[in-house]
Structure 1
């Protein structure tokens, strides 16, 4: 315990912050319509997002406790911090150094907020980072299979996790760990993905993970699409925006709002197909506009404050109670077996709202850390640090290409950047390769 004193000291206030969340905002914080879609008693593949998180909620449903869900999510992230700390100690960092590097996981206010939400983000973060920790800790067929399974589960939780399975496979291939771990990773990762896609085929006659990838990409093109330039065929012309570019709202609004031409297209699958086709034509016709829209989104990473004090956003701990909309209230109350609206209990809620104004790593510092870690890993030849570093880069950079930037989408990169930084600063791992000799274990004193 003495050897890990720094971690214990750091954990206590972090646990206290999560206790404030549980006491201040019972039973959980609900996010617009997304939370209610996840909580629905009718378990089926989601249209706009995969239902992996819904499957977890279904397992916990017999307890009829949203508090149980949020407490579990808080504990999972705390456990993830301990796992990263243990790996960094194994790589030779002192206790205070490893503790310092996991501090953002313990204290970031947005991460605490996501843990307390009925949303897939906290579980997704744990699945992805735990898989990377396993693959960096030691590569064997067993750890590779477990990591692959976790990444497959991440893919059916949020589709942005899908490229990470390919990235992990490339890591094993380039590092020459042999064919057994590589095959184990890919086969294990394919199990949840294939099972979910088969479920989608049975339910909706489509072998896929969602029915909205085309819709999201189409909404991305609404930032720049000009049908006078694109000249789409008549069957796609219905998806042309009728607003000047300068007056168009942010891409996500084009998915749900009444003004969206997307809603004029009948049939979920047909709409997604046409939207994807339109988006591809728009990007090919206006590549500069597409890259410009992506670059504009990525400039949000230079913003010091995540949310301004007077900004209306769901990414704040609420200051007042709001009743659940009548159309979805029954979904939440069925899961909770009672009232499910978020309550605001003072003074605990107020203390956490005050902490939220300063308890975070500003995005410019996070971006600088990511770039610095990737560069240092190359210079110092800490190749294993590239796996979490590139995974973090993929998670941060891909949403603006596929849909739009959202503050929430950057948070999963935080533990990966911390891990990559620790691996870059720590000692070298045992040499890769199937026939590599094992490094001798240090002798115990006494």
Structure 2
């Protein structure tokens, strides 16, 4: 019982201690208040500088799906459902809501790390990248699914890893949230698999695994049935094969590939270009760029949207997705080394201080930084009130010092790629270093979050393209894994054999029992029965058992 709860104290005395307790809690979690205050200030600054939400071509498809009220063939409908209440309001409210969600994620991440035994200063430091990263701030201002996806995924992972023993309610809610994330962005499906592996490693039991799986199956199955009702196919979308086709086209060596006639028609021997002028390599909302092979390699989305692409000309309908998928699988099977090299190379770009991007890919990358002149070339444009599904016209600010200052901030305030590499390496080291001297649990937690962040980088490159937009989940998850790994390593360092050997050997019983062979045999701890009998005779329990002489020493 604490002093404040002592019944001998008057109510007034107990009440007077509550402010002290509150101040003590505030003082204990000062890193959270510092990080949260800085994050709030940056988001207020952002909303003040940009009075409209930002638009990207994907934004139009999300709002159009929300208006239509049925699933989109390219992207899952989850985000469209979330923004439906905001369709007839200024879209800035969507951006403000997403900034608030970002703040909530920071609080939840800090609380989770403290729950898992991470020190307050390290918990706050782990939240700092997500709190202040300029790309995170910019993407929160877009009408895009990334912020909602990160929040759903983080909530689901925090929940299943929150307690030492996963309850069936936590397992069910975790599955529900991760399934919701997968229906917000399809890249969430691999995270569902990762969470399932994590729960198997934790050995949570069959009942809790069923509790996790039931909402996943119900939500995904219900969505697929709804999709079938509108499009006649049980699926969450019909562009996965098309995206994969675009991904492998830059390495497809059609001269030596074994393809059907239908598949061979999808080959593009050389990228089209117009001498002395930009080519038609234009993704929606992205300016033209030179049509060199390397440009097409860094911007494979051109194979989706460019009119010169065979897929665009020959198979423009969503129903043609299996044809494109079969072509992509044929390329990967026959050129596995080229495909793996491409994925490894461009995943490595995420781990560098600055990716070696050509002008076209660089143009896409700059859209995720705060724009000095919204609507200018290669900069985010405002989502002014327009008919859903249509692209807004470019719009410019004559002079906006706040936006220019934010752009200058964004030039350097982004999470460095080497931090991702360090997080993965440290998580692996923490898992294998002196693994037998500490329970596997905290290593599994660290690997869960590091794998979630780094795995999403790999999946996005392997199935779509290199884009800093797809790295934003790693800004949250890899630092969380890094903090958990550092805590485990510190705990293991404190249990070094030399440290244990330096402790006084106080385990021997004061009255060592004499071994039948005449040697003193220490016991692990003083047993109450080993004390002298009040009458001065030995307690019966202190007499050596006849079999004790032949029993191996447990020490």
TM over 0.5: yes
- Equivalent pairs counted in the alignment come to 421
- 2:424 maps to 370
Question: Larger Cα Rg: Structure 1 or Structure 2?
Answer: 2
> In terms of mean alpha carbon deviation, does 202-211 or 11-20 score higher?
11-20
Confirm or deny: 8 A CA contact 1:229 1:285 kept in the other structure. Answer: no
Give the CA deviation at 1:389. Answer: 1.8
Q: 1:394 aligns with which of 438, 444, 455?
A: 455
Confirm or deny: 8 A CA contact 1:130 1:147 kept in the other structure. Answer: yes
Confirm or deny: 8 A CA contact 2:35 2:127 kept in the other structure. Answer: no
Q: For 1:308-323, what aligned pairs fall within 5 Å after superposition?
A: 311-313=362-364, 314-322=367-375
- 2:122 maps to 97
- 1:276 maps to 325
Change over 3 Å in CA distance of 1:372–1:94 after alignment to 2: closer
Confirm or deny: 8 A CA contact 2:353 2:417 kept in the other structure. Answer: yes
Q: 1:78 aligns with which of 103, 125, 132?
A: 103
Q: 2:487 aligns with which of 415, 426, 438?
A: 426
Higher relative contact order (CA 8 A, sep 6+): 1
Q: 1:185 aligns with which of 212, 215, 220?
A: 212
Confirm or deny: 8 A CA contact 2:74 2:239 kept in the other structure. Answer: yes
Q: Distance in 2 between matches of 1:280 and 1:306?
A: 28
Q: 1:144 aligns with which of 153, 171, 183?
A: 171
**TM superposition score normalised by structure 1:** 0.87
The structure with more helix, counted as a fraction of residues: 1
Matched, 1:25 2:50: yes
Matched, 1:215 2:234: no
- 1:263 maps to 312
Confirm or deny: 8 A CA contact 2:74 2:237 kept in the other structure. Answer: yes
Give the CA deviation at 1:59. Answer: 3.1
What are the Cα deviations for residues 249-285 of structure 1, in whole angstroms up to 9, with x where unaligned? 1311111011100012246244211100111111112
Q: Distance in 2 between matches of 1:12 and 1:308?
A: 35
- 2:473 maps to 412
Confirm or deny: 8 A CA contact 1:24 1:343 kept in the other structure. Answer: no
> In terms of mean alpha carbon deviation, does 301-310 or 399-408 score higher?
301-310
> Structure 1: which 5+ runs fail to align?
429-446
Confirm or deny: 8 A CA contact 1:87 1:137 kept in the other structure. Answer: yes
Q: Distance in 2 between matches of 1:355 and 1:330?
A: 23
Give the CA deviation at 1:155. Answer: 0.8
Confirm or deny: 8 A CA contact 1:333 1:340 kept in the other structure. Answer: no
- 1:117 maps to 142
Q: 2:35 aligns with which of 10, 18, 25?
A: 10
Change over 3 Å in CA distance of 1:171–1:202 after alignment to 2: same
Give the CA deviation at 1:407. Answer: 1.4
Q: Distance in 2 between matches of 1:10 and 1:69?
A: 23
> Structure 2: which 5+ runs fail to align?
1-25, 272-291, 490-555
Confirm or deny: 8 A CA contact 1:145 1:185 kept in the other structure. Answer: yes
Change over 3 Å in CA distance of 1:343–1:19 after alignment to 2: farther
Q: 1:128 aligns with which of 144, 153, 163?
A: 153
- 2:202 maps to 175
Give the CA deviation at 1:8. Answer: 0.9
- Give RMSD over aligned pairs: 2.7
Q: Distance in 1 between matches of 2:149 and 2:178?
A: 9
Give the CA deviation at 1:218. Answer: 0.7
Give the CA deviation at 1:423. Answer: 2.1
Matched, 1:39 2:95: no
- 2:86 maps to 60
Q: Distance in 2 between matches of 1:306 and 1:19?
A: 30
